[in-house]
Amino acid sequence: KNQVEQSPQSLIILEGKNCTLQCNYTVRPFSNLRWYKQDTGRGPVSLTIMTFSENTKSNGRYTATLDADTKQSSLHITASHPRDSAVYICAATTGNQFYFGTGTSLTVIP
């Protein structure tokens, strides 16, 4: 069964701290792994996209890693800011089909 699991469910950190969100997936045939940021009441916005041959990809203070062997990905956020407060969703695709995780709710306290 194709599925994506994320941890932790929620996370609260102080402004300026770093954090790492985890994503495990079992999707076949695997095409790419995506991380999205979803602000409250808004649609998801793409942060990074990685194929199986890519180990890491950065987008500003966001750095995603991918281990296609263990089917794990992480999203590292450095120097967090209150505007980073959102739900972060991991999605693994087969090319045509997207499989979404339930997300990690991040709260950054000023």
Partner 1 sequence: GAVVSQHPSRVICKSGTSVKIECRSLDFQATTMFWYRQFPKKSLMLMATSNEGSKATYEQGVEKDKFLINHASLTLSTLTVTSAHPEDSSFYICSARTGLVTEAFFGQGTRLTVV
Largest interatomic CA distance in the chain: 42
By CB under 8 A, name the binding residues for partner 1.
4, 9, 31-32, 36, 41-46, 49, 89, 93, 95, 98, 100-103, 105
Nearer to partner 1, 36 or 71 (CB): 36
Nearer to partner 1, 52 or 100 (CB): 100
Q: Write out the two tokens for 57.
A: 């990809």
Closest distance of CB 46 from partner 1, Å: 7
SS3 83: helix
Q: Nearest-CA neighbor of 103 among 48, 42, 36, 33?
A: 36
